[in-house]
Chain A
Amino acid sequence: MSDSPVLTQDALEAAHHEHPPYQRHHFETMDQQNDATNFAMWLFLLTEIMFFGGLFTAYLILRNWYYPAFVAASHQLNVYWGSLNTLVLISSSFTMAMGVWCAETRRKSGLVLCLTLTFLLGLVFLGIKTIEYSEKIEKHHVPGFHYSLQSFLDPASDPAAAQYGDKPLALDMARKTELYFFLYFAMTGMHALHMIIGIAILGFMIFRARAGAYTTGHVTFVENFGLYWHFVDIIWIFLFPLLYLISRHQ
């Protein structure tokens, strides 16, 4: 700011420009601060894209290699639970977007309502996921834990496989269904972990929003959390067709 290495008290006072209390001192303007935090949040989301991208790539390659096993294994998933969860998650993204709008327009009770709805829809998603996981546990479809090949060696014995008219797989191919379920649990599990973290932060935000924290004109936290929540939604938008839908007719 100044060429002089020693700043007098007056110069320091002058350098300390007026700014709103939520503007960090090292930013010249609120615009600059908003741009910087938005940029940082997106950089974080890009690392997340790369992280999930690795899992998606592994799924793509392994599905191509062990196609019959991946088709048979994906028939074990229930399209109705998957669709319902997609609706729940999209709705939660909508309530979150509305929450950001409420914060921007300084509607405190609206913000608390939107955050609470997002929180509840997130819990509903995890509840449905729990139902799905417990089905897999009951059928011994969790890789590494007494994994059972019965649904794939003898599909007629399993209603989920029988409704698709699955043919029995050879033993070596049937074993590859474990890989499908490994990726299924890795991808949906990582997604669920992101949801759990998001729900925890939402709980904290509801608490803070009730105290009026985000309706004073400083909405960065709500906005950036919104970006995170929508990102988690996007991951599910791709997980749902890849895991549940694309193998229904093969």
Chain B
Amino acid sequence: MSEQAHHDEHEHHIVSPKVYVVIFLALLALTSLTVGASFIEMGIFNPIVALGIAVIKAVLVVLFFMHVKYSTKLTKLTVGAGVFTFFILIGMTLADYFTRAWGRW
């Protein structure tokens, strides 16, 4: 049992507070960046930049705050499969809605 317990502690990766602080600061910086960018006129690029920054922030949260970077392959596969399925659902829905009126004008 003691061998097992030792094995468990070895397996369970503890993310250090240093990593959390760095990610926290990065998230704060990206938040200021996205708010600052919204005050600049960039036309079509305003939403693209805003969503791009949001995706980077979400990836940072998932990888480090949610420990996916240090997780098992099963967890990584689950997250990846979920995001993939989500994009298929959104992609097909948008493909439908945005092409309904094609050729009718």
Identify the A interface with B (CB < 8 A): 18-20, 29-31, 34-35, 38-39, 42-43, 45-46, 49-50, 53, 56-57, 60-61, 64, 79, 83, 86-87, 90-91, 93-94, 96-98, 101, 104-105, 223, 226-227, 230-231, 233-234, 237-238, 240-242, 244-246, 248-250
Contact = CB atoms under 8 A, between A and B. Distances in A.
B97 A79 contact: no
A226 B35 contact: no
Contacts of B4: 19, 29-30
A87 B14 CA distance: 25
B7 interface: yes
B75 A90 contact: no
Contacts of B62: 230, 234
Range of interface residues on B (Cβ < 8 Å): 35 or more
B84 to A, nearest CB: 11
B17 A98 contact: yes
A31 to B, nearest CB: 5
Contact of B72 (A35, A45, A97): A35
Contact of B78 (A39, A79, A241): A39
B35 to A, nearest CB: 5
A63 B83 CA distance: 23
25 contacts: A31-B11, A38-B72, A38-B75, A42-B82, A43-B78, A46-B78, A57-B93, A61-B97, A93-B61, A97-B20, A98-B17, A98-B20, A101-B17, A101-B20, A104-B14, A230-B65, A231-B66, A238-B58, A240-B34, A241-B50, A242-B51, A245-B35, A245-B50, A249-B41, A249-B43
A18 B14 contact: no
B99 to A, nearest CB: 12
Contacts of A230: 61-62, 65-66
Contacts of B98: 61, 64
**Secondary structure dominating the interface of A:** helix
Given A31-B11, A105-B14, A246-B46, A53 B89 contact: yes
B27 A42 contact: no
Nearest to B64: A97
Contacts of A64: 98
Contact of B65 (A20, A45, A97, A238): A97
B89 A93 contact: no
Interface in B49-105: 50-51, 53-54, 57-58, 61-62, 64-67, 71-72, 74-75, 78-79, 82-83, 85-86, 89-90, 93-94, 97-98
Contact of B89 (A50, A104, A233, A241): A50
A20 B5 CA distance: 9
Closest 4 CB pairs of A and B: A241-B50, A46-B82, A245-B38, A246-B47
